[in-house]
Amino acid sequence: MTKMFTVAEMVLRDLARRRTVLGLLFLLPLGFYAARHDQTGQAIRFASLGLGWGASTAGLFSSNSAKSVEPRLRLVGYSWVTLLVGRLVALLLISWTIAAAYFLLIYFDQDIQRPGALAVMLALTAAIAVPLGMLIGALVPRDLEGTLVLIAFVGVQMAIDPAKDSAKYLPFWSSREIGTYIVDPVGDDYLQRGLQHGLGVTAGLILFAAVVTAIRLRRRKHIHVLTQPVPAGTR
Amino acid sequence: MWTSEHSGEAPDRRPQAGGHMMSPPRPVRLRATGISKKFGRRQVLSNVNFEVRAGEVAAVIGSNGAGKSTFLNICAGLISPTSGQVEVNGSVGYCPQVGGTFDFLRPSEHFVLFGRGDGLKRGVALARGNEMAALLGWSPDPKVQSRHLSGGTRQKLNVILSTLGGHDILLLDEPYQGFDRGTYTDFWEVIWRLRDSGHTIVVITHMLNAMDKVDQVLDLTPTGNERNR
């Protein structure tokens, strides 16, 4: 656990020093939110998508910047699980902090029927976005390719009719279901579907990211560690 | 063959650990057997054999593209060979040629991060890091991030991080790029000290004047038909 917290601490320190990045992470959802401010439901959904885009971009860049160092950290004794979870925890903390700020903004700015569901939606969006960005970062060789993949994801998510069946295959579909539940007098089934989808996508993305990370940071088969003791005086 | 292995023949100017030549054979710490590596259709390494013992310094030399870094990465277990195996007797520290650090973290934070991986407590990691830095004539500014360090100082940081855990085997990929003359001398003092305390050090180098300071040399320079690979 100590090692995991050390990784998380260093990821947080690294991100905290990128002040422009942090500023943009906070401002991005605001732009989305302001663009649809007059329509409560749309404003909430777009703020959520802006949060998702920002958090996944942070995940992508953070993963890519660690790619050259992580094999070295693996060599000095970190497990791939520690490296993955440490980064995930740090990025989630930052994303949930931004989500909390937007919860307060929307709560005081809009007429919300179900504020608890709003908190769930924003937290869930961040929880989906972080492993999504980390997964893309693990799969693509460089930031540019990853950014293009991410733009494609979010662009399609915003352009597609959310009522279509195919929309369910996109990562942030849950925000539409929970968003409807927040502002409209609909049944609990909307919240339930949104939660199921969001949690399922989050778990799937974390699992996929774990598999890719485990492969990338695997111990190579050609290395054979001998247990022959080294005589005293030669250490 | 371009996988020659021979002992350095120049006069031994290293500090002697008493009875070094008289002591029984030291255990093999690293043995690479039949290492070959292809990138696509390009053969980079072909049947390289190499063995280095505790208390020895080995240099890996060769022209550009000869596969020196590839060989070291294979020995560190960072990439797989096409064929061959590496036997390791002890823990491995690795210093890359470039990168290997986080731009926005300070040297002290790197000491803690790498030290924790090695099982060191925060205070011990910091103390060891600063001690090693002093040996290389460097006093890290506590507020400077590694992206603001000069190339040579950044490489000092890399060297320190590879030695922090007191690993039995050190694999150093052109560690003194950007070092000034004084630091270069300090670096070899550190290497000798480590060697005399039983560590095994493998150094990739282009600097021929380093050859007279090592126990053996692995020359990966291609010859004949392999020259154009």
Segment A97-154, tens digit of pLDDT? 999 999 999 999 998 889 999 999 999 999 999 999 999 999 998 889 999 999 898 8
Domain span holding position B143: 103-165
Residue A73 in contact with partner chain B when CB distance is under 8 A = yes
How many domains, in total, are found in chain B? 2
B67 and B16 Cβ atoms separated by less than 8 Å: no
Q: Are residues B160 and B181 in the same domain?
A: no
Q: ipTM score of the complex? A: 0.87
Residue B77 in contact with partner chain A when CB distance is under 8 A = yes
Distance in angstroms (rounded) separating the CA atoms of residues B201 and A3: 27
Q: Which residue among B144, B165, B186 closes a domain?
A: B165
B81 within a domain of the structure (yes/no): yes
Most A CBs within 10 Å: which of B116, B145, B162, B170, as the mutation test of the A interface?
Answer: B116
Q: Are residues B144 and B111 in the same domain?
A: yes
Q: Backbone phi, then psi, for A99, in 5-degree steps? A: -60, -40
Segment B150-191, tens digit of pLDDT? 988 999 999 999 999 889 999 999 888 778 888 888 888 888
Identity of the residue in A69, A76, A220 whose CB atom sits nearest the CB atom of B101: A69
Q: Are residues B66 and B175 in the same domain?
A: yes
Q: Are residues B64 and B14 in the same domain?
A: yes
Task: Give the domain CATH number at B72.
Answer: 3.40.50.300
Burial class of residue B20 in the structure, from the number of CB atoms within 10 Å of its CB (0-12 exposed, 13-18 middle, 19+ buried)? middle
B96 within a domain of the structure (yes/no): no
Helices (H) and strands (E) in chain A, counts: 9, 1
Q: Which residue among B119, B148, B165 closes a domain?
A: B165
Q: Are residues B70 and B172 in the same domain?
A: yes
B56-85 burial, b for 16+ CB within 10 Å, e for fewer? bbbbbbbeeebbbbbbbbbbbbbbebeebb
**Angstroms from A184 CA to nearest CA on chain B:** 45
User: What is the greatest pairwise CA distance in chain B?
Assistant: 54
Segment B10-47, tens digit of pLDDT? 334 344 444 445 567 788 999 999 999 999 889 999 99
Burial class of residue A189 in the structure, from the number of CB atoms within 10 Å of its CB (0-12 exposed, 13-18 middle, 19+ buried)? exposed
Q: Are residues B85 and B172 in the same domain?
A: yes
Confidence grade of residue B6 (pLDDT, cut at 50, 70, 90): very low
Q: Which residue among B142, B165, B188 closes a domain?
A: B165
Chain B residues with CB under 8 Å of A73 CB are 113-114, 117
Q: Give the model's pLDDT for residue B181.
A: 83
Helix (H) or strand (E) holding A12: helix A2-16
Identity of the residue in A6, A65, A75 whose CB atom sits nearest the CB atom of B116: A6
Judged by CB atoms closer than 8 Å, whether chains meet at A13 and B109 is answered as: yes
Distances (CA, A) of A227 to B76, B170, B202: 17, 18, 21
